[in-house]
Amino acid sequence: MRVALVYPEVYELARFKEKRKEFPPFGVLYLAAFLEENNIEVKIFKINEGENSCDFQGYDVVGFSTPSSATYGIVQRARFGGMYSSNTTIAVGGVHASFYPEETLVDFRADVVAIGSGEKTLVEIVRAHSTGDFSSIRGVGYLVDQSPKTTASRSLEKGIDWLPFPARHLLDESDLIMHDRLANTDMKMAHIMMSRGCPFSCHFCAVYQKRVQCRSGENVRMELEHLKRRYGIDGFAVVDDNFIINKKMVREICRAVESLNLKWSALSRVDTVDYELLECLHDAGCIELKFGVESGSERMLQAMGKNVTTNQIRRAVNLAISVGLMVKIFLVHGFPGENLESTNETISLLKDIAPMVDRVSLFRFVPLPGSYVFRNAKAFNLNIPDNGSSWERYHIHHNNYHWWGDDEDFAQLEGSYGVLEQFLVENWQ
């Protein structure tokens, strides 16, 4: 059996207007590794905007990854521009496909869609290729007489040490190893995933998996040792949606990696850290902690479902600095209800913590498909356009569509965004 896995190369707008590569496609890399572990031949295809003519002839299964709604159109065009053998099984997975399996089946004219965690699911799909019968596979959608049908969801294991390490050998080193991504240093670094899922429910966020699955410290150390041997890395960045959730797991990982003498960074909420834990991170080589601050307005923080306060933000930043960590913060501007007053409150908070913050990333609010705000569009008076080709609008990094409110609201929003952006440019070059 031969499998082709297709993923879109996505560039993010880091900071304000700087285009750079995102981290490697971990979803596809884990799928490929699990296929190889089950003696299934696999090749990874990277596609870009306008690249629609891949040759998939000779592959039994072609799996398309939809890691975000913003890439939906790119992947869809690659699906219909590709060349296939007569009996190829077309499979689609990823975040967007998991949220909208029935729609994805139709839009991609797919034989099967994987819903949620896909490693075991994909192996079963490959084994069912010859019959085309996917009805006994948990966590899939398929068509019956042109009508979408989904099976019972697949249960999640508590831990994920059973997963093989990502199949990085299937990509060029330039897609994996970077020199300008670790806390403004030029260290040779890689990215690593230490857990899956996020239990929090920020209204603007589109995380499909709410249950957190953790790796053991020993398992993480083994992967980092491999990365040191193969690529000679000096550091790494943790790509988890929220690294500091299970404090026992975090401490175990810190103890396991401390003697590797690697520098690293991770992402956290402001309300899950304490001094003792931050000391543990620092002693294990962590040099930067990234906080999802989002806003300096108490009103907007509550509207976003963050359930944190500006005092907690100040406390977390102060604690991180006190143990010797650098701090990066993320901001989201433009959630429904944002105006010049709330923007000025954000600027006021930033003035307070500016001496302690090394880096800032500013994103514009977008009602991401699958998020709470998207699912409750009427309650937030959102202007959600028809789906289909418009999925590509939903990219939080570079989007200034008029998503909510009247023309006056939008004008104030655009003006206040400009004020905030200018403040950030003046203070964090």
Cβ neighbours, 10 Å, residue 255 = 14
Give pLDDT, residue 14.
47
Give the per-residue pLDDT at 397: 65
SS3 425: helix
What is the number of alpha carbons within 13 Å of residue 48 lying toward its C-beta? 2
E strands present in 209-285: 213-214, 235-238, 263-268
- Can you name the residues that pair with 350 across neighbouring β-strands? none
Q: How far apart are CA 316 and CA 244, in angstroms?
A: 13
| Per-residue pLDDT at 48 | 83
Q: Residue 354: which pLDDT band, with cuts at 50, 70 and 90?
A: very high
* Beta strands at 112-114 and 359-364: parallel, antiparallel or unpaired: unpaired
Least confident of 67-81, 121-135, 206-220: 67-81
Task: Look at 11-25, 70-84, 266-280, 307-321 and tell me which has the smallest mean pLDDT.
Answer: 11-25
The pLDDT score that the predictor gives to residue 13 is 46
Q: Check residue 70 and give its pLDDT.
A: 80
Higher pLDDT, 145 or 232: 232
- 381 CB-near residues (< 8 Å, 6+ apart): 336, 404, 405
Which positions ≥6 away from 376 have C-beta within 8 Å?
none
Domains and CATH numbers, the chain: 2-150 (3.40.50.280), 177-427 (3.80.30.20)
Whether the pLDDT of residue 19 is over 80: the answer is no
Looking at residue 215, what is its pLDDT?
97
**Residue 391's pLDDT band (boundaries 50, 70, 90)?**
confident
The pLDDT score that the predictor gives to residue 234 is: 97
